[in-house]
Each structure stands twice: as C-alpha cells, then as structure tokens.
Amino acid sequence: MATKKIAETAKKAAKTAEKAITKAKESEAVKKAANTASKAISKAKESEAVKKAANTASKAISKAKESETVKKAASTAKKAASTAKKAASSAKKATEKVTAYVEFGGKQISTAEIADKVRAAYKAEGNKAVIKSIEIYVKPEENTAYYVVNGNAEGKKIDL
C-alpha cells in the first residue's frame, strides 16, 4: 500500500514536471536541473514501484532541453527530483527487516522459525486453504506455541 502511494506521488511529480518543462527551452540551468533529476531517477529505479515514474520523469527531462521558461522548468525539475529521492527513500524504508527471538530456559527460537513450524503443522494436518492470517501465542514455560490460522481457533499447538 505504501509502495502504491510512493508510485502515485512520484507519478504526480513527474506529470507536474512535464507540464512546466514543456514551456521551457534549451538553457544551461535546465541542463543542470535535468542532470540533477536524472541522478535522482537513477537512484529511484532501485525500487520497482518507482521505475515507471522515473521513466516518465526521464521523458519530461528530455523535453526540458528544448523548453522556453528556464526558471520554472528548473524549479519544477528540482521538485520532481526531490520527490523522486523521497520516494526512493520511502521505498528503502519499506524493506526494513526485523528479527525477533523468544528466549526461555536456556533455549532460543526466532519468531520466524515459530511461524514456519505453524505453517508446516497446518499443512501436515491436511489443510489446503490459503493462509491469510496467523496468530501465535507462545508459552515458553510449556515449550509450546498455540496458534490460530485464518481465525479458526481449535486449540492447535506445536512444540518448540
């Protein structure tokens, strides 16, 4: 959902840049703005959701080299570059990885490993339904995790 917002924001910025840039003609200031925006676009292309917006902005930059209103184009291109940088930064933040562990009685197990065991137990029971949600309740003193898959609470448990 955040990636769509990022892509929409970048796309809006690219459209705004394209409108202002079409009015501008070739000048040194536009070339600098185009160069700055090009650098931002290359960084933004790291994120799959931003690639389309970067391509649109790139086309707008090409048109900027033939444009007439230098100051407006340069300002708009800088704003587009800034928006693309922010979008790329937000996309990088969205890929943050978190690992959590449960420790008790000299044992350690990651929450990802517990979730994997729950998925395996669910499938081993013969369930073929797509897993939409998993709720896990860890009781380290019992060396057990109780789980609910897709809201179906039947007292299922796994040993840790």
Q: Would you kindly state where each structural domain of the chain is located, as residue ranges?
A: 2-94, 101-159
pLDDT (tens digit per residue) in 70-111: 667 667 777 777 887 777 777 666 667 888 888 888 889 999
Mean pLDDT of 49-66: 67
pLDDT (tens digit per residue) in 102-160: 888 888 999 999 999 999 999 998 888 899 999 999 999 999 999 999 888 777 889 88
Q: Are 18 and 64 in contact (CB under 8 A)?
A: no
pTM over 0.75: no
Nearest to 72 by CA among 41, 30, 34, 36: 30
Alpha-carbon span 27 to 8, nearest angstrom: 30
